[in-house]
């Protein structure tokens, strides 16, 4: 018994593994997830009400996941807090650094009258995952254009298919499972388009090919998807992408074009394709607001910003650990290894335990895999060539590219903060989760100032600083909280 | 030519449907227990239900609660993410708009409880 209380945020592959090893080390665990069932996005479960007799047909590694979730959720020292949103992390006294106070709301999504309470854990494991990054293109705001993740979540999570004639486009291996989910659910997938050139993809993947052997499970998964695409005669094309969506009130056709290695459009290569849905992904954005709120340092890696962790998955804040996609995008097996390490060590388990050796090894392999993934599927620098003046960049505020250009080119509005107020890009309900990286990149290019530079004595704007991490109704904020959980 | 639910009879996951009914802007819409509001709307052939600032139609984009494109009103509660809220039989759903006649603000938001910060910063 370590008698420690570990709070784990996120019940996907990383969070569930963290809860399991923290319990094994003797800790009390509170496992929190916004969803009503565990699994996260990778093992997104069907609703209980569906009473599915064969849920495993929709998943990879279902049996191991199912065993783990039952074991964890039924454990006497585990409290499973489903339908729970962490809306703020409050840092304690700066004199005594440690895990923050966790503010949660419990109840149906965005409902009023949710139960508000707080937790003061001895250690905190953040395993909140990532969401699709989608670059803007003309017409991407039309209904019927979905993120690839949305198409998969709907197909896997409630058996809704987004369309009959679908194109899946963007970059990364995630295109394949999404196409597979659509095919399984009865869609016709017209094309799968990988924007990067065959050369970029091959060079990224084939550096030190012996490292790939460690990812045999992932390789098997990809081979399975490829076979499925072949069986359904779905063309997989590289160096091509969707550069425009068109339609009257909804997507009716997309324009695809051949891209050079830097993602500039090869003129004359455009083709139109009649579709009723387009699914797009250009990689993943880690959900960094909770790590930033906890005070964790970030690192800039090949694929963007991630939480900095040491070889024990510890962040720069004592007692706060991070695992899964927020430390680097490497897929579910790597997330599980990181989660298992983080949970055990957060619970005060022995750092030298023999069981940690294979976990550390597969974590390291996962990190190598993440670096390889980022190199094989980068975002080409010339992508803004797709944009037109009237192209929406910030979906929430309908801020278009022309307004961003105007703000960035006038000296008095060029700094990121002023440009934001001028254009409203990033001020909408999603709190810049969707357009943030795009707006920062465009503003830096257009104004010639490096992104996030400090101006006029103000600190550099911090893109993931969202003191209110999830919406909370004013009435719930004003109502007295329930007693807190030590 | 629009989204749909995999038919229970041909669903490889072998699910059981328990029908339910909600109303959307007063019209009855059928779904099954366990679905999200977004899933019910999509499967009923509705691809868009919100109006953005510019008046353009919006529906589901991210599907996992990040983008806030799919907001609806459920009962008396505005600004509910349709992709994250499970329906209950008899739910009264109203579509909402951020159409602002003025330069900046949706007038029917005033005086209503809503999420702080999100649209008012």
Per the model's pLDDT, the better-predicted residue between A381 and B106 turns out to be A381
Residue in A158, A163, A174, A182 to test binding to B, most B beta-carbons within 10 Å: A158
Look at residues A101, A111, A11, A8 and name the one whose alpha carbon lies nearest to residue A470.
A111
- Positive/negative CA dihedral, B73, B77, B81, B86: negative
- Across the interface, which of A55, A132, A398 has its CB nearest the CB of B62? A132
Domain end: A327, A347, A374, which one? A374
pLDDT digits (tens, 9 = 90+) for A450-483: 765 666 666 667 789 898 999 999 999 998 888 8
Residues A297 and A420 in one domain: no
Compute the distance between CA of residue A73 and CA of residue A15 in angstroms, rounded to an integer.
Answer: 12
β-strand A253-258 against A240-246: which pairing, if any? antiparallel
Q: Do A54 and B12 touch (CB under 8 A)?
A: yes
Compute the distance between CA of residue A88 and CA of residue A290 in angstroms, rounded to an integer.
Answer: 8
Asked if residue B99 has pLDDT above 80, the reply is no
For residue A7, give the 3-state DSSP assignment: strand
pLDDT bucket at B121, cuts 50 / 70 / 90: very low
Instruction: Look at residue A454 and tell me if it is in a domain.
Output: no
Q: Do A143 and B79 touch (CB under 8 A)?
A: no
Closest residue in A to B75 (Cα) is A111
Residues A292 and A268 in one domain: no
β-strand B92-95 against B71-74: which pairing, if any? antiparallel
Q: For residue A120, give both structure tokens.
A: 């003061």
Domain end: A242, A264, A282, which one? A282
For residue A262, give the 3-state DSSP assignment: coil
pLDDT bucket at B105, cuts 50 / 70 / 90: very low
| C-alpha B30, offset from chain centre | 14
Q: Do A428 and B68 touch (CB under 8 A)?
A: yes
Residues A52 and A119 in one domain: yes
Instruction: Look at residue A142 and tell me if it is in a domain.
Output: yes
Residues A142 and A264 in one domain: yes
Instruction: Look at residue A465 and tell me if it is in a domain.
Output: no
Instruction: Look at residue A483 and tell me if it is in a domain.
Output: no
Q: Do B16 and A144 touch (CB under 8 A)?
A: no
Closest residue in A to B5 (Cα) is A160
Compute the distance between CA of residue A355 and CA of residue A314 in angstroms, rounded to an integer.
Answer: 18
What pLDDT shows up at residue B114?
39
Query: Facing residues of A339 across strands?
Result: none
Q: Do B13 and A57 touch (CB under 8 A)?
A: yes
Compute the distance between CA of residue B33 and CA of residue A52 in angstroms, rounded to an integer.
Answer: 12
Residue in A149, A154, A166 to test binding to B, most B beta-carbons within 10 Å: A154
User: What is the helix (H) or strand (E) element at residue A146, kind and residue range?
Assistant: strand A145-147
Domain end: A313, A340, A374, which one? A374
Instruction: Look at residue A365 and tell me if it is in a domain.
Output: yes
- Across the interface, which of B32, B39, B114 has its CB nearest the CB of A154? B39
Range of the domain at A404: 383-447
Q: Do A160 and B6 touch (CB under 8 A)?
A: yes
Residues A100 and A66 in one domain: yes
Residues A144 and A225 in one domain: yes
The angle at the Cα of A412, spanning A409 to A413, to the nearest 5 degrees, equals 60
Compute the distance between CA of residue A462 and CA of residue B31 in angstroms, rounded to an integer.
Answer: 42
Average pLDDT over chain B, rounded to an integer? 86
Residues A345 and A413 in one domain: no
Residues A276 and A168 in one domain: yes
Instruction: Look at residue A457 and tell me if it is in a domain.
Output: no
Residues A205 and A308 in one domain: no
What does DSSP assign to residue A330?
Answer: -
What pLDDT shows up at residue A456?
61
Asked if residue B96 has pLDDT above 70, the reply is yes
Q: How many CB atoms lie within 10 A of CB A466?
A: 19
Compute the distance between CA of residue A85 and CA of residue A102 in angstroms, rounded to an integer.
Answer: 10
Residues A294 and A274 in one domain: no
Residues A167 and A227 in one domain: yes
In the predicted model, residues of chain A with pLDDT beneath 70 are: 1-2, 207-216, 451-460
Percent of chain B with pLDDT over 90: 77
pLDDT digits (tens, 9 = 90+) for A212-230: 666 667 777 888 888 899 9
Task: Give A408 to chain B, closest Cα distance, Å.
Answer: 21
What pLDDT shows up at residue B100?
47
What pLDDT shows up at residue B108?
45
A190 with A165: CB under 8 angstroms?
yes
* Domains delineated in chain B: 19-97 (3.10.20.440)
Question: Token pair 């905190």 is at which residue?
Answer: A124
Q: Do A112 and B77 touch (CB under 8 A)?
A: yes
Q: Count up the domains in chain A and report the number.
A: 3
For residue A72, give the 3-state DSSP assignment: helix
Q: Please, what's the b/e burial string for A348-357 (b: 16 or more CB within 10 A of its CB; e: otherwise)?
A: bbeeeeeebe
Domain holding A82: CATH number?
3.50.50.60
């Amino acid at each position: 018994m370590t008698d420690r209380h570990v709070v784990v945020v996120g019940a996907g592959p990383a969070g569930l593994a963290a809860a399991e090893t923290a319990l094994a080390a003797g800790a009390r665990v509170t496992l929190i997830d916004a969803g009503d069932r565990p699994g996260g996005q990778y093992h997104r479960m069907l609703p209980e009400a569906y009473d599915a007799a064969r849920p495993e047909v929709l998943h990879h590694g279902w049996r191991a996941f199912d065993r783990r979730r039952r074991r964890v959720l039924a454990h006497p020292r585990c409290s499973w807090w489903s339908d729970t949103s962490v809306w703020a992390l409050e840092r304690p006294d700066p004199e005594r650094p440690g895990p923050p106070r966790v503010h949660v709301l419990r109840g149906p999504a965005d409902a009023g009258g949710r139960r508000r309470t707080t937790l003061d854990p001895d250690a905190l494991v953040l395993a909140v995952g990532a969401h699709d990054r989608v670059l803007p293109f003309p017409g991407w705001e039309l209904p019927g254009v979905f993120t690839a993740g949305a198409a998969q979540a709907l197909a896997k999570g409630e058996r809704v298919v987004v369309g009959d004639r679908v194109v899946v486009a963007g970059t990364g291996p995630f295109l394949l499972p999404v196409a597979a989910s659509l095919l399984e659910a009865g869609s016709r997938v017209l094309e799968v388009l990988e924007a990067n050139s065959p050369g970029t993809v091959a060079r990224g993947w084939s550096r030190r090919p012996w490292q790939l052997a460690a990812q045999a499970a992932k390789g098997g998964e990809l081979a399975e998807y490829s076979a499925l695409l072949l069986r359904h005669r779905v063309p997989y094309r590289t160096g091509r992408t969707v550069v425009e969506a068109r339609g009257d009130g909804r997507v009716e056709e997309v324009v695809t074009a051949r891209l050079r290695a830097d993602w500039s459009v090869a003129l004359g290569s455009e083709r139109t394709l009649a579709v009723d849905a387009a699914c797009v992904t250009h990689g993943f954005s880690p959900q960094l607001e909770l790590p930033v709120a906890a005070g964790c340092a970030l690192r800039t890696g090949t694929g963007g910003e991630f939480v900095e962790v040491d070889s024990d998955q510890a962040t720069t804040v004592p007692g706060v650990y991070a695992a899964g996609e927020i430390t680097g995008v490497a897929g579910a097996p790597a997330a599980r290894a990181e989660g298992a390490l983080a949970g055990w060590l957060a619970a005060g388990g022995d750092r030298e335990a023999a069981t940690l050796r294979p976990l550390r090894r597969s974590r390291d392999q996962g990190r190598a895999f993440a670096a390889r993934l980022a190199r094989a599927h980068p975002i080409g620098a010339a992508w803004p060539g797709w944009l037109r003046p009237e192209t929406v960049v910030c979906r929430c505020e309908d801020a278009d590219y022309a307004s961003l250009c105007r703000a960035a080119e006038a000296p008095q509005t060029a700094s990121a903060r002023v440009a934001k107020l001028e254009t409203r890009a990033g001020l909408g309900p999603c709190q810049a989760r969707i357009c943030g990286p795009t707006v920062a990149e465009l503003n830096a290019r257009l104004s010639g100032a490096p992104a996030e530079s400090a101006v006029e004595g103000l600190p550099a704007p911090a893109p993931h600083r969202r003191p209110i991490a999830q919406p909370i109704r004013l009435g719930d904020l004003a109502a007295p909280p329930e007693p807190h959980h030590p | 030519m629009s989204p749909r639910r995999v038919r229970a009879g041909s669903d490889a996951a072998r699910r059981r449907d328990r029908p339910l009914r909600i109303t959307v802007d007063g019209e009855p819409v059928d779904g099954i227990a366990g679905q999200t509001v977004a899933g019910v709307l999509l499967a009923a052939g509705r691809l868009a239900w919100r109006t953005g600032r510019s008046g353009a139609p919006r529906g589901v984009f991210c599907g996992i609660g990040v983008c806030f494109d799919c907001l609806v009103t459920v009962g008396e509660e505005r600004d509910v993410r349709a992709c994250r809220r499970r329906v209950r039989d008899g739910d009264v759903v109203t579509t909402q708009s951020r159409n602002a006649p003025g330069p900046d603000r949706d007038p029917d938001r005033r005086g209503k409880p809503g999420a702080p910060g999100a649209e008012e910063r």
